[in-house]
Structure 1
Amino acid sequence: MPAARDFLEFRTLYSSPIATVSNYCCYAHRSGPGEEESAAANMIVLMRRGVFSKHFGRKKITADVNQAVFFAKDSVYRVSHPVDCGDCGTIFTLSPWNLNDIVRGLDPSIDEHPDRPFHFVTGPCHPKIFWRHRLLLQRLEGSNGDPIDQFWVDVSTLQLIADVLESAFNRQGSPRTTHRITTDTDHAEKTEVAKEFLAARTSERITLDEIAREVGASPFNFARMFRRQTGLPVHRYLTLLRLRASLEQLAESDVDLSILALHLGFSSHSHFTDVFRREFGETPSNFRRKASLKSIREIGRNLIARRSSRDR
């Protein structure tokens, strides 16, 4: 990222104790290396447009949309622009504990250098990773003022960065760790604890940190373990709990949809409607109308049956 701040725009899209996601755009023209910069934290940048070159020592790498770019904390570098198009990208900054927790499964020596979890400056950005990155960005930028689903964003960001790091370590040929892995029984027990926790709190704004603490695991390891045990990402599991609970309430009560949405843990009426439509192919109001018509028809059939019985 270039030093000429007159050409830079930064905007934080999301921030939690687990991760910060920021957008940057640089409008610099073709230029040689700028002034020295120093990375304030360990950062991973996924490019969305344009290109820049990162100079460090006598080396230079050129960053484009096909690569992930890694900035190690306190590393010194300079930036140049080989073309006039500038560049835009997304900056991911995980908390040190969560970042190292991911790296520990890829580099057994991480605890010897916890402040520098990666020794490379670029890695591949595979098509599926690039697409998931864009979908995450679209969700963050398209919230329309509604509260963002922190649970979903934290899980999605951790998994995205885990896949980016795994691709980078694989390209470097780094050995995987042989650290002790908990037993399947332990994973199953923790998953059952998590399921109970989720079922008891469907109406609350649960965070990934909270449930990970409840089961005694790190956020990343918990999310990975839960998916292996249930076949579903934890945020989707919770969403399905809420949506399927909504069907009964829509069919059996006339509670206001905004109140129902908040009661089920959705951030707003529109959030509830969007998620409901994606899952069931129609809006909550349409489902309620059909359920009401069905109930009326059933009542009518019962009345006819009673009259026929009396007439006999």
Structure 2
Amino acid sequence: MKKVGAQSSQTLDVGSGLSLSAWHNDGGYAVYEKASHHTLSYYLQGGKGTRRHNGERSLGKGHPGAVCIMPAGVRSEWSIEAPFKFMHLYFDQAEFDHIALESYGIDPNLVELEDVAFQSDPVIEQLFRQVILPLDWQNPADRMSLSHAGQLLVQHLFRHYSNKNAEPTFVRGGLSPFVIKRVKDYIEEALDQGLVIEDLAAVAELSPFHFTRMFQLTMGVSPHQYVLLRRVERAKDLLGDTHNTLSAIALQCGFSSQSHLTTRFRRATGLTPSKFRQLS
């Protein structure tokens, strides 16, 4: 990919062949030279001065909330006449193939991702604006939520922007007691680290997508919700030691700072860590 005027403010690998990148472009042009990965682009701010071209012919212009999909191997050209901000989700063909085979029972060789420019999609908008954008990409405690959001986006693209209109196969049963114990033990040992769903799926010896569905069926909550719950419960236990500072507790529970611990703890319990300590 060639970009003139475009700069990435942050990039994060969220596992399973998925990565996120936040961009801004003040003008110029961009050429996608048949990338080896698929790209989902979402316009956060501006975009009305952005156009896609096929030679001298314009294929439309952007707008805030616009969705573009650039499949692997497809060349595209873009002109940018005004500043705008956007986010990209990159994902490998292997991840798309896993979803086709394990969730829909479809031969991956029969599935093609659509080439899309400047559409609106409320599901994609909600995941980017309400889940991905507010999270701290540098915070280990938020990595699993970002990983889960990325997987949901890829699943949505498969269902609504491919040549196969299919519903996921029904999951019968969940994880065995032995596997769920092994996953729980792993989580407890790694709460101070930046866990992603790919880590837990490897423990269960399942694909990330299949693991997520089976974990939720077994536990009643998604993996990232469960991990956040365990981080908060660990913090409650550590707050009992008054010699343990809030900043130290935050790091022991996988939060990047005391303020991040306070935000997540209050959201889960209705109390700040300091108030919880006073009342305990």
- In which range does the TM-score fall when normalised by the shorter chain? 0.7 to 0.9
The worse-fitting range, judged by mean Cα deviation, of 215-224 and 253-262 is 253-262
CA distance in 2, matches of 1:111, 1:177: 18
Please, which of 10, 13, 27 is the counterpart of residue 12 of structure 1?
A: 10
Q: Can you give the 5+ residue segments of structure 1 that lack an aligned partner in the other structure? A: 292-312
| Paired AA for residue 79 in structure 1 | W
Conserved? CA contact 2:60–2:118, under 8 Å: no
SS at match of 1:138: coil
% identical aligned pairs: 19
Q: Deviations over 1:19-41 (max 9, x none)?
A: 22112223238xxxx68641423
Query: How many residues are aligned here?
Result: 273
| 1:237 CA displacement | 0.5
Matches within 5 A, 1:238-253: 238-251=227-240, 253=242
| 1:93 CA displacement | 0.5
SS at match of 1:22: strand
Matches within 5 A, 1:269-308: 269-291=258-280
**Aligned residue number for residue 54 of structure 1:** 52
| 1:191 CA displacement | 4.4
Conserved? CA contact 2:27–2:83, under 8 Å: yes
| Paired AA for residue 87 in structure 1 | F
**Aligned residue number for residue 122 of structure 2:** 127
Q: Deviations over 1:132-154 (max 9, x none)?
A: 2023123246x5xx556322221
Matches within 5 A, 1:6-45: 7-18=5-16, 19-28=18-27, 37-40=32-35, 41-45=37-41
Taking only aligned residues, the RMSD between alpha carbons, in angstroms, comes to: 3.4
**Aligned residue number for residue 73 of structure 1:** 72
| Paired AA for residue 11 in structure 1 | S
Q: Deviations over 1:128-184 (max 9, x none)?
A: 43132023123246x5xx556322221222123323443334xx6x332787x6631
CA distance in 2, matches of 1:112, 1:232: 33
**Aligned residue number for residue 154 of structure 1:** 147
Conserved? CA contact 2:40–2:88, under 8 Å: yes
SS at match of 1:46: strand
Q: Deviations over 1:255-295 (max 9, x none)?
A: 2222322333333333222211221222111211122xxxx
| Paired AA for residue 246 in structure 1 | A
| Paired AA for residue 93 in structure 1 | Y
| 1:75 CA displacement | 1.3
Structure 1's 67 and 271: CA in aligned 2 closer, same or farther, altered over 3 A?
same
Matches within 5 A, 1:109-128: 109-111=107-109, 117-122=112-117, 124-128=119-123
Select the structure that is richer in helix. Answer: 1
Q: Can you give the 5+ residue segments of structure 2 that lack an aligned partner in the other structure? A: none
SS at match of 1:139: coil
Conserved? CA contact 1:194–1:211, under 8 Å: yes
**Aligned residue number for residue 96 of structure 1:** 93
Structure 1's 61 and 187: CA in aligned 2 closer, same or farther, altered over 3 A?
farther
| Paired AA for residue 223 in structure 1 | T
Q: Deviations over 1:105-135 (max 9, x none)?
A: 469242357xxx4133248543343132023
Please, which of 166, 181, 196 is the counterpart of residue 176 of structure 1?
A: 166
CA distance in 1, matches of 2:264, 2:191: 15
CA distance in 2, matches of 1:78, 1:126: 22
Structure 1's 106 and 154: CA in aligned 2 closer, same or farther, altered over 3 A?
same
CA distance in 1, matches of 2:184, 2:27: 50
Q: Deviations over 1:219-259 (max 9, x none)?
A: 12212322233232211101112212332432465422223
| 1:100 CA displacement | 2.9
The normalised TM-score by structure 2 is 0.79
| Paired AA for residue 211 in structure 1 | L
CA distance in 1, matches of 2:199, 2:30: 43
Conserved? CA contact 1:124–1:168, under 8 Å: no
| 1:103 CA displacement | 4.6
Conserved? CA contact 1:124–1:167, under 8 Å: no
Select the structure that is richer in strand. Answer: 2
The normalised TM-score by structure 1 is 0.72
Structure 1's 56 and 266: CA in aligned 2 closer, same or farther, altered over 3 A?
same
Conserved? CA contact 1:123–1:168, under 8 Å: no
